[in-house]
Amino acid sequence: MPSDRSSRLRIALIASEAVPYAKTGGLADVAGALPRALASLGHDVLLFIPRYGTIASSDLKEWRRLSVPSVVGPIDAVVEQEVLVPGSPDTGRARVMAIRHDPYFDRAGLYQERGIDYPDNLDRFTFFCRAVMEVLRALESEDWVPDILHAHDWQAALCLVFGKILYADYIRRRAIASVFTVHNLGYQGLFPGAAFPRTGLPSSVFTPTTLEFYGSCNLLKGGLIFGDLLSTVSRTYGEEIQTPEYGFGLDGVIRDRRDRMTGVVNGIDVDVWDPSRDRHLPAHYSIADLRGKQACKTALQREMDLPPHDVPLLGVISRLTSQKGLDLLAAILPDVMALDVQLVMLGTGDPALEEEFRSWQTRYPKKIGIRLAFDEGLAHRIEAGADMFLMPSRYEPCGLNQLYSLRYGTVPIVRRTGGLADTVVPYSPTAIAEGRATGFMFRSPAPDSLLMATLLALQVYRDRDQWARLIQAGMRTDVSWEASARAYVRLFREARQYVGVPDGEKDSERKG
């Protein structure tokens, strides 16, 4: 899409993982998709990630070598670059720069191994953030200065702290604004207070009003304090984290800055997640012709060793943890298995929950199919082949699977929390009559509440006309990144006003 060059933004997006380079969760999906979506709107985006050893062969090529300051002396870094969207004088551009220092990042995992965090994570991500700031200064020689620093989660939060403390002259001189996005407040980057000096920051930044947190050093808190504007991945989650129940000790900090907080729901890659051409599916379909969905259901039943009966097929793709509400599902399985239904499940997690679901599969081999693994292709086939998708999360900042489900005509059953509440329109006689209802929702994180929502869904399933309305409304929902990217652009423009740059000011006027 052509862009008025006077309104084009230069955005430095900093994240610890991004598809297709490295992924442990939804952050990677966002960081991988958002730069391309912003570029499609005409903006110039530079994505920074660590250069993990686990990154498969790619087109990353050495761009420059840098010496990065640290408390133990300069550390050498290699910066590798890849062009994601080439851009032109009339369109946006997206690139990735990967910060390479093998002693820190050439490891089997991103943040941990065998469930144990790397003991030097503070050093690793302090180095990463400091290296990002050094690269940005080096880019001045190419006349590339960001309008926005957009940092994601605790691993990138120090970029904003460094920007206001160690690189304050650079940030002020170039009038660079910042946005800090929280994907999951449960992960905060907590380290012993005694380790704080390793950040290279002055002791004045280790106070209760800055990075100190009950004696510990809290990197995510730094992002919340030092970001010009804050965002999270859904409006409801932004409200929830201002309460003690969901705030993980930071609810007071967020309430103090609630006038700077907004929620932007994630989108999905509608080219990858498209039932009309998904390479993982045995048959294709669309809202205009759903016949292929039945073929996907039959193929999924066979793949999961279930008889291909015409019964409601429930799907689950999740970490098997209580946070995801899988203990609620385990509690209602006796009631669900008494009905004429089937269940397919993909995921890993709590060993006790894994064993419990294994035992249920052994008891009901013709009704439950389970894969305790990660399988991208099977995830697509479950989304396409299931009739309903269960997401009983206790909390869910945004969630992506319910968006995939809407796109694939698979009706979600979700708890009213976070992004689930913001993206699913619950069934009611009025909502179904108006063509708005897209799924089923329950409030209380209790087995009985999940069971009642599931029973209601099964009841409505028998009314083929109402069920078709649910499918159609879901598949018509815009779950693409374009709407989300436009919301981020509005947020970026607002953030610029906090550093004294009027909206719409030309780069040439600001940067000289």
Question: Residue 78: which of 96, 105, 95, 100 has the closest Cα?
Answer: 100
Give me the amino acid identity at 205.
Answer: V
Q: Are residues 355 and 466 in the same domain?
A: yes
Helix (H) or strand (E) holding 477: none
Q: Read off the CATH number of the domain in which 68 is found.
A: 3.40.50.2000
The per-residue pLDDT string of the chain (512 residues; one tens digit each, 9 = 90 and over) reads 444 445 899 999 999 999 899 998 889 989 999 999 999 999 999 999 999 999 986 789 999 999 999 999 999 999 999 999 998 877 799 999 999 999 999 999 999 988 899 999 999 999 999 999 999 999 998 899 999 999 999 999 999 999 999 999 999 999 999 999 999 999 999 999 999 999 999 999 999 999 999 999 999 999 999 999 999 999 999 999 999 999 999 999 999 999 999 999 999 989 899 999 999 999 999 999 999 999 999 999 999 999 999 999 999 999 899 999 999 999 999 999 999 999 999 999 899 999 999 999 999 999 999 999 989 899 999 999 999 999 999 999 999 999 999 999 999 999 999 999 999 999 999 999 999 999 999 999 999 999 999 999 999 999 999 999 999 999 999 999 999 999 999 999 999 999 987 765 544 334 43
Inside any domain, residue 275: no
Q: Are residues 155 and 40 in the same domain?
A: yes
Determine the pLDDT at residue 374: 85
Our measurement of the distance from residue 343's CA atom to the centroid of its chain's CA atoms, rounded to an integer in Å, reads 26
Nearby residues of 490 by Cβ (< 8 Å), 6 or more positions away: none
Q: Are residues 173 and 246 in the same domain?
A: yes
Q: Are residues 46 and 103 in the same domain?
A: yes
Q: Residue 28, CB half-sphere, CA atoms under 13 Å: how many?
A: 12
Inside any domain, residue 89: yes
Inside any domain, residue 203: no
Q: Residue 245, CB half-sphere, CA atoms under 13 Å: how many?
A: 10
Q: Are residues 152 and 258 in the same domain?
A: yes
Q: Are residues 376 and 489 in the same domain?
A: no
Inside any domain, residue 205: no
- The beta strands (E) that lie in 93-166 are given as 93-100, 112-113, 116-117, 148-152
Inside any domain, residue 67: yes
User: pTM of the full predicted structure?
Assistant: 0.90
Q: What are phi and psi of 351, to 5 degrees?
A: -55, -35
Nearby residues of 12 by Cβ (< 8 Å), 6 or more positions away: 46, 48, 132, 136, 146, 148, 149, 150
**231 with 160: CB under 8 angstroms?**
no
CA angle 44, 49, 50 (to 5 degrees): 155
Q: Are residues 160 and 236 in the same domain?
A: yes
Q: Are residues 167 and 53 in the same domain?
A: yes
Give me the amino acid identity at 63.
Answer: W
Inside any domain, residue 284: no
Q: Which neighbouring-strand residues pair with 88?
A: 91
Inside any domain, residue 278: no
Q: Are residues 487 and 461 in the same domain?
A: no
Sign (positive or negative) of CA dihedral 449, 452, 458, 463: negative
**Distance (Å, whole) CA 414 – CA 416:** 6
**Distance (Å, whole) CA 457 – CA 438:** 11
Domain residues for the domain of 26 are 5-189+221-267+481-511
Inside any domain, residue 210: no
Q: Are residues 262 and 114 in the same domain?
A: yes
Structural domains in the chain (count): 2
Q: Are residues 68 and 136 in the same domain?
A: yes
Q: Are residues 46 and 85 in the same domain?
A: yes
